[in-house]
Amino acid sequence: MIEEVFNVKLPVNETLTLKRNRFCPEDITTSTKRISIVTGIHGDELEGQYVCYLLGKWLNEHPEHIKGIIDIYPSMNPMGIDSITRGFPFYDVDINRIFPGSTSEFLPGQLANAIVESVKGSDYAIDIHASNIFLRELPQVRISKLFADTLVPLAEKLGIDFIWVHDAVTVLESTFSHAMNTLGTQTLVVEMGVGMRITKSYGQGLSEGILNLMAHAGIIEKKPMRVCKTAVSTLNSNVHFINASTSGIFVPTLEHNVIAMKGEQLGEIIDPLLGCVKESILSPCNGLLFTIREYPVVYEGSLIARILEENKAEKQ
Amino acid sequence: MKEELLFQIDSLSRGPMSVKAFRFGVPDATPSCVIVGPMTGNAIDQLWIASHLVRFLRQKELENAGFVKGEILIVPTANTYSFNMGKAFWPMDNTDIDVMFPGYDKGETTQRIAAKLFEKTNNYDYAILLEARKDHVECVPYVKILNTENSDVEDARDFGLDFIYQKDVDPIDTVSINYNWQVWNAKSFSIISGKKGTLRKIESGKVIDAIIRFLSLKGIIDYKVFQGAKGNIVTKESIEIIKSAAAGLFDALAQVGDHVAHGQPLARIYNALDGSLLQTIVSPSEGIITCRYDYPLIFQNAIAYRIAKLSNDY
Ligand SMILES: [Zn+2]
């Protein structure tokens, strides 16, 4: 059932509409569980589009297995998605920094408010992000330490490669996930793949993981699968950030999603004008190369890679 | 005056971004004041203000070597790259430098720019940021202070501007330079004015006068100034927000700074294809227009005007 949750008229003969697709059983009671799948807050991140499609397809094919309410919101920033624009077009603002919003704010704040009001009351929510266009990411769930106790066990149901528990940062209180977690909806943020692209295998893996989570929560009837591949990082210090120390063109040496050894070359920053290597980037530890730079042009400071140090990661 | 290279960021194909600063007066003399210009590359008013303050102080100091009694540092902008290509935010990843403070010297490029800028500006008695509004509005010049333990409305009155906006701290404010200066015990202010992408010389002139007045009243420069306004304290509650009910072509009838009466027409919105009148926006209260939507096409439910309501509590 397609429902409109927000409408606003645009200046020249167009209406901006936020839509969701609701799947639900015949009978709804107060104990019926509800999950919201949200994506596209960043208009240049498309990995979630494929996940929404796969979930919708499964639900269309198995209506008899639907025991709870599943709301799918594929496009929280409709103009952004249709124009390769990360933020809310015209206002040039990151919607994921203005939650919970309010009706008295500027338009992007009203949109954020409409999203919150619409998702509010869900037992669970999953906010699917791709990485931006600069970085390629292994599928991962990011959880603020504040909510780790309840959210880590939930995230494990997704059978995802990696759960990253990070420190609570004040500025992240203006994200969708923080707003929803504060309102009592257990909300997971998934990051995977790269901006402007779809990685089919990641989409398939995550949609299976979400079906599994829904099965565990009694939202669908399906044999829960056994999940075992999650590596949990509970401390920030397990994750090493590698940034460029000079400007140039980054060319990777290692593939994404491999174990890098301490001192091994991850890539080089080259100078196309001079025809020389400006910086050779080495791994600071043994560990999983879960983030690698996709976009070649770098400045000093540009993030090149992130590595989950091996011996410190708790294997589960 | 001493011209300094604060720091430099290199680029693959462009010349280096050199961030310059201008120092006046006696090193380490008190009171000291730092003035930081815009971090978004379309804040032309603020660049004008910063550069004309440099010009003013340079000329006065040439006339009278003891003109600056304290110490003043002016950083006209830490984002020349964006100015040179008509872009608001950082050219590479569209990030806003003013949400990166106090910065991180091992982090992303804009975190590093923030760290370098903060390191050079965080130990002054007074700190002033020249800011353009990030939404699509034109506004009267006003002082913004963040509500923290350190904020001081009385100091803000020395600018002599009509309005002082006392803002509660939102999560996003905690990563602004203004907030972080306060954490480090400076008395910090944002001066907000004008309209992005244009030069409003009259409003900018008011800001230049306001900063000169402030420097004079604080004993940082030796200069006689005219009295300014006492400063009306404005909070979120004292601002009336007026939204558009229709979308289309936006014809503003009332301008920023206008004193408007209850029921006065403020703007008209027309259908953008057939020209029919869709809405006449009228003022719901008496007051002064502090902000006006600044683009001739308007969305439905956009904030068209903000009015400081007339009441006795100022
Ligand atoms: Zn995102």
- Per-residue pLDDT at B252 exceeds 60: yes
Structure tokens at B146: 């963040």
Residues near B309 by beta carbon (within 8 Å), at least 6 away in sequence: B238, B239, B240, B285, B286, B287
Per-residue model confidence as pLDDT tens digits over B206-250 = 999 999 999 999 999 999 999 999 999 999 999 999 999 999 999
Residues near B24 by beta carbon (within 8 Å), at least 6 away in sequence: B1, B2, B57, B58, B61, B68, B71, B72, B73, B74
| Confidence band of B150 (pLDDT split at 50, 70, 90) | confident
- Per-residue pLDDT at B138 exceeds 60: yes
CATH architecture of A236-315: Beta Barrel (2.40)
- Rounded-to-5 percentages of helix, strand, coil across chain A: 25, 35, 40
H or E stretch including A112? helix A107-119
Tell me, yes or no, if A172 comes closer than 8 A to chain B by beta carbon.
yes
The beta strand positions in A119-264, using DSSP E, are: 124-130, 135-144, 162-166, 186-193, 231-233, 239-243, 248-252, 259-260
Place of tokens 């004993």: B219
The Cα B39–Cα B116 span in angstroms is 13
Domain boundary among the residues B201, B234, B267 is at B234
Q: Which structural domain range is residue B148 located in?
A: 2-234
Contact by Cβ (8 Å): B155, B187? yes
Q: What is the mean pLDDT of residues B150-168?
A: 93
DSSP tag of A258: S
Q: Pick from B9, B99, B136: which is nearest to A300 by CB? A: B9
**Pair (B207, B277) in one structural domain:** no
Place of tokens 């110490």: B71
**Rounded to a whole number, what is the largest CA-CA distance in chain B?**
65
Q: Pick from A106, A298, A300: which is nearest to B302 by CB? A: A106
> DSSP letters of A23-57?
E--S---TT--EEEEEE-SSTT--HHHHHHHHHHH
Contact by Cβ (8 Å): A119, A71? yes
B99 and A241 within 8 Å at the Cβ level: the answer is no
Per run of 10 residues, the mean pLDDT along chain A (length 316 residues) is: 96 97 94 97 97 98 97 97 94 94 92 98 98 94 93 93 88 93 97 96 96 96 73 71 97 94 97 97 95 97 94 50
**Pair (B267, B145) in one structural domain:** no
Q: How far apart are the first and last CA of chain B?
A: 40
Q: Is the pTM of this model over 0.90?
A: yes
| Confidence band of B36 (pLDDT split at 50, 70, 90) | very high
> Which residues of chain B make contact with A11, given a CB cutoff of 8 A?
247-250, 272, 297-299
Nearest CA in chain B to A88: B135
Residues belonging to chain B = 314
What amino acid occupies position B48?
W
Number of domains chain B is built from: 2
**Pair (B70, B37) in one structural domain:** yes
The Cα A12–Cα A10 span in angstroms is 6
Per-residue HEC secondary structure of A149-193 comes to HHHHHHHHCCCCCEEEEECCCHHHHHCHHHHHHHCCCEEEEEEEE
**Pair (B245, B101) in one structural domain:** no
The Cα A259–Cα A272 span in angstroms is 29
**Does B19 map to a domain?**
yes
B85 C-beta neighbours (distance < 10 Å), count: 9
Q: How far is B139 from chain A (nearest CA, A)?
A: 15
**Contact pairs from chain A to chain B, CB under 8 Å:** 98
**Pair (B126, B50) in one structural domain:** yes
Residues 15-44 of A with CB under 8 A from B: 16
B302 and A132 within 8 Å at the Cβ level: the answer is no
Q: What pLDDT is stored for residue B148 in this prediction? A: 87
SS3 A116: helix
Residues near A182 by beta carbon (within 8 Å), at least 6 away in sequence: none
Report domain extents, chain A. Answer: 2-232, 236-315
**Pair (B203, B275) in one structural domain:** no
**Pair (B82, B141) in one structural domain:** yes
Q: What pLDDT is stored for residue A313 in this prediction? A: 46
| Confidence band of B262 (pLDDT split at 50, 70, 90) | very high
The Cα B220–Cα B126 span in angstroms is 10
Q: Pick from B111, B249, B299: which is nearest to A8 by CB? A: B299
Per-residue HEC secondary structure of B49-62 comes to HHHHHHHHHHHHHH
- A167, exposed or middle or buried, with CB in 10 Å at 0-12, 13-18, 19+? exposed
The Cα B204–Cα B192 span in angstroms is 10
H or E stretch including B273? none
**Pair (B213, B244) in one structural domain:** no
Contact by Cβ (8 Å): B264, B254? yes
DSSP tag of A256: S
**Pair (B249, B276) in one structural domain:** yes
Class of domain A2-232: alpha beta
Residues 68-97 of A with CB under 8 A from B: 86-87, 90-93, 97
Contact by Cβ (8 Å): A156, A231? no
**Pair (B15, B93) in one structural domain:** yes
**Pair (B176, B39) in one structural domain:** yes
What amino acid occupies position A36?
S
The Cα A288–Cα A308 span in angstroms is 5
Task: Report the percent of chain B where pLDDT is more than 90.
Answer: 94
Q: Pairing relation of β-strands A314-315 and A231-233?
A: antiparallel
Tell me, yes or no, if B199 comes closer than 8 A to chain A by beta carbon.
no
Tell me, yes or no, if B168 comes closer than 8 A to chain A by beta carbon.
no
Closest CA to A67 of A38, A27, A30: A27
**Does B314 map to a domain?**
no
> Which residues of chain A make contact with B94, given a CB cutoff of 8 A?
86-87, 92
Q: What pLDDT is stored for residue A316 in this prediction? A: 41
Closest CA to A45 of A86, A88, A17: A86
Nearest CA in chain B to A241: B107
Residue B153: CATH number of its domain: 3.40.630.10
Contact by Cβ (8 Å): A7, A15? yes
